[in-house]
Amino acid sequence: MGRIPQKLKILNRVHILRAEKRISQQELADEIEVTRATINAIESGDYNPSLELAFRIAKYFKADIQNIFYIEEKKNEKD
């Protein structure tokens, strides 16, 4: 098992889930009480939400956090 890097690349499926529900960034932002800019930054990967905000997003989509937010796995030749 390899070492965990100091900085993890966290990806998310917020844009996909939002598209499936056919809601805008503003509608999601209003529902979870953040700004549209926050949703935009999360979707673009420029901002990782706090644990509380990640739970609010997961609760809104009725999904587990790990099904929305995940780390980019890079294959290591030693694994």
Q: Which domains does the chain have, with CATH numbers?
A: 10-71 (1.10.260.40)
Token readout for 39 is: 């949703």
- pLDDT above 80 (res 73): no
Contacts of 69 (CB under 8 A, 6+ apart): 10, 11, 12, 13, 48, 49, 54
Task: Identify the pLDDT of residue 4.
Answer: 66
Q: What is the end-to-end Cα distance of the chain in Å, rounded?
A: 7
Average pLDDT score, the chain: 90
Mean pLDDT, rounded, for 40-58: 96
Q: With 0.95 as the threshold, say if the pTM is over it.
A: no
pLDDT band at 5 (very low <50, low <70, confident <90, very high): low
Q: Give CA–CA dist 32/24, Å, rounded.
A: 13
